[in-house]
Chains A and B, each alone.
Chain A
Amino acid sequence: MTFTLVALFIVVVAFTAIAIGAFGWAAKTGQFHGLEAGARSIFDTDEPIGRPTDHFPERGRKSKASV
């Protein structure tokens, strides 16, 4: 029982270390850079920033004309 608990503790510590290590690696190698580019990655030239893409059916024609 105590042995299992110690083993478990080591596992937990190891995982935390891996997680911290992975986070450090990610930060160092620039995985968190260019975040704003990430935010823009869902837009394209046909549906660019600044163009709403959903309307109630009836309003479709009207609002489209006004864009």
Chain B
Amino acid sequence: MNRGLTLFVGILATFTLAWAGLVLIPYLQFGRVTDYVSEETGQTLPPPMSGLAQRGHEVYAAEGCVYCHSQQVRGESQGSDLARGWGVRRTVARDYIGERPHFLGTMRTGPDLSNIGRRQSSVEWHHKHLYRPQSVSPGSVMPPFRFLYSLRKIVGEPSADALKLDGLDAPPPGWEVVPTPDAKALVAYLLSLDRSYPLPEAPTE
């Protein structure tokens, strides 16, 4: 007796069904959502990412920020994301159209970063925080990213972008800590994270 065929057809069929439902239909439904040009301001939404921010997006991927930070704001009925001030509206599919890969995330060991550029817009703060998170957030478990900065001897004038570090982190006299291009790109990316613009499907009132 040969059950091989029954097995094969059954295995194929059950799976195809789910594949169509969970992959193909969402793809057809959402795969071609395009950006939206606001009628009032003429602005393209979501705003396109700058080249530097795009580079920062890659650093975010390489350093695995996504394992501790989500980038999705759930609606009022599903969690307290809005009440925590992580956004002014829930995020929708259109917010993510330019992102490859997606950083929706599954963990909130750290806060949601969907709107961090709006919440914390100081370049200096971000550099200080990345250099040693505990210096600005005591008790944080976020790892330091000192390897994204270089310590170098000051020759002539100090660099304009040198970090203003004090206490524990201060470099020895005559030395300075400057961000590498990766660190600069990462901060540019963080500052670009602002999903508070209104969309037809997600008004901000």
Contacts and interface: CB of A to CB of B under 8 A. Distances in A.
A and B in direct contact, judged by CB atoms within 8 A: yes
Chain B: number of interface residues, binned into ranges: 10 to 19
Nearest to B6: A26
Given A19-B14, A22-B13, A8 B28 contact: yes
Given A22-B10, A22-B13, A1 B3 contact: no
B155 interface: no
A26 B1 CA distance: 11
A12 to B, nearest CB: 5
Contacts of A23: 6, 10
Contacts of B1: 30-31
Contacts of A26: 3, 6
Contacts of B17: 12, 15-16, 19
Chain A: number of interface residues, binned into ranges: 10 to 19
A19 B9 contact: yes
Contacts of A8: 20, 24-25, 28
Interface in A4-23: 4-5, 8, 11-12, 15-16, 18-19, 22-23
Kindly list the 3 A-B residue pairs having the minimum CB-CB distance in the complex, ordered from nearest: A19-B13, A22-B9, A26-B6
Interface of B: 1, 3, 5-6, 9-10, 12-14, 16-17, 20-21, 24-25, 28
Interface of A: 1, 4-5, 8, 11-12, 15-16, 18-19, 22-23, 25-26, 30-31
